[in-house]
Amino acid sequence: MGRIETIKPRERTIIMTQIAIHRPCPPRRRFGLTLLWNVLSLHRQRRALARLDARALEDIGITREQAEAEASRPVWDAPEFWQK
């Protein structure tokens, strides 16, 4: 019979890491309903931010002007981390 070769756990980790490095996953695309859901969520969050009172704004560390500026941004002007 042929010889069965075993791979130690540490070697297996190194091999799998090398495979992962050389075969990156393609970026995930956002399609229809997911994109719509995210846009509606962003719009809802900005409306809620605009409705906060002075005490709540102070708790989160922003001024009324900053809150109004953020709330008035259009939905397509999403934060940088949403666009990745």
Question: What is the arithmetic mean of pLDDT over 55-74?
Answer: 93
**Over the stretch 7-58, which tens digit does the pLDDT of each residue have?**
565 555 554 455 555 555 666 666 678 888 888 999 999 999 999 999 999 9
**Any idea which residue has 């075993």 for tokens?**
6
Question: What is the arithmetic mean of pLDDT over 69-74?
Answer: 91
Quote the CA–CA distance of 61 and 55 in Å, as a whole number: 10
Residue 22 near residue 55, CB atoms below 8 Å: no
> Can you give the residue ranges of every domain in the chain?
31-77
User: What per-residue confidence (pLDDT) applies to 34?
Assistant: 82
User: What per-residue confidence (pLDDT) applies to 39?
Assistant: 86
**Any idea which residue has 């091999």 for tokens?**
15
User: What per-residue confidence (pLDDT) applies to 65?
Assistant: 94
- Which of the four pLDDT bands, split at 50, 70 and 90, describes residue 79? confident
